[in-house]
Amino acid sequence: MLSNTRSLVVLFVLIIAVLGSTAPAFATIPRVRGSWLFGPAPVWTDGTTSPAFRPLSEPLESKGLLSVRISTEMSEDSGNCKIRPALRYSNDGVGWDAAKEIVAGYRTTEGIDWGTTYIDITQLAGTTPRAYVQFGVEVANEAGSAINICNATIRVEAKEPVR
């Protein structure tokens, strides 16, 4: 009996070694030195085409944070989500200003939008930089009125100020 059990274990290990793991790879955006990686995290719409902010990061001190390059990944889409990177500012890390998109275009299918340029987040129209910043995504329905869900991941690469 014991040799049969060992044989099955060895066979199982060989199958895994040959076929590889079937576990899903969640975030495919790699974290690079000097960046922050937030997610994957579930985000959901409010059942409308209006954007709803979903925070992915904890409140971060914004002192010295001037511009960022941001990459966005959407996965596990229920079929009708669209996301775009966004942020919001706060004086105390408790009460928050309205969220503002960092990139105007939405990601509408599963996959990655790689950030290619640095964006000055202190100059986003409709925002006033404050002591704290929080990064996340705005999520909305592409169409329809059902609540939808997907996973969102963002990588934030901060540009260091010249000293």
Higher pLDDT, 18 or 131: 131
Which pLDDT score, from 0 to 100, does residue 102 have? 97
Q: Average pLDDT, stretch 35-51?
A: 96
How does the average pLDDT of the chain come out, rounded?
A: 86
Tell me, what DSSP letter sits at residue 122? G
Q: How far apart are CA 139 and CA 149, in angstroms?
A: 9
Max CA separation in the chain (angstroms): 72
> What's the pTM?
0.81
- Sorted by sequence, the CB contacts under 8 Å of residue 77 that are 6+ apart come out as 109, 110, 148, 150
Tokens encoding 115 = 């950030």
Q: Is the pLDDT of residue 17 over 50?
A: no
Q: How far apart are CA 7 and CA 20, in angstroms?
A: 19
Render pLDDT for 76-112 as a digit per residue (tens, 0 to 9): 999 999 999 999 999 999 999 999 999 999 999 999 9
Q: Which CATH architecture best describes the domain 26-159?
A: Sandwich (2.60)
Instruction: Enumerate the domain spans of the chain.
Output: 26-159
Closest alpha carbon to 106 in 65, 74, 61: 74
Q: How far apart are CA 83 and CA 34, in angstroms?
A: 24
Q: Are 135 and 54 in contact (CB under 8 A)?
A: no
- Sorted by sequence, the CB contacts under 8 Å of residue 99 that are 6+ apart come out as 51, 53, 86, 87, 88, 136, 138
Task: Give the model's confidence band at 13: pLDDT under 50 very low, under 70 low, under 90 confident, else very high.
Answer: very low
Render pLDDT for 109-162 as a digit per residue (tens, 0 to 9): 999 999 999 999 999 999 999 999 999 999 999 998 999 999 999 999 998 666
Which pLDDT score, from 0 to 100, does residue 12 have? 41
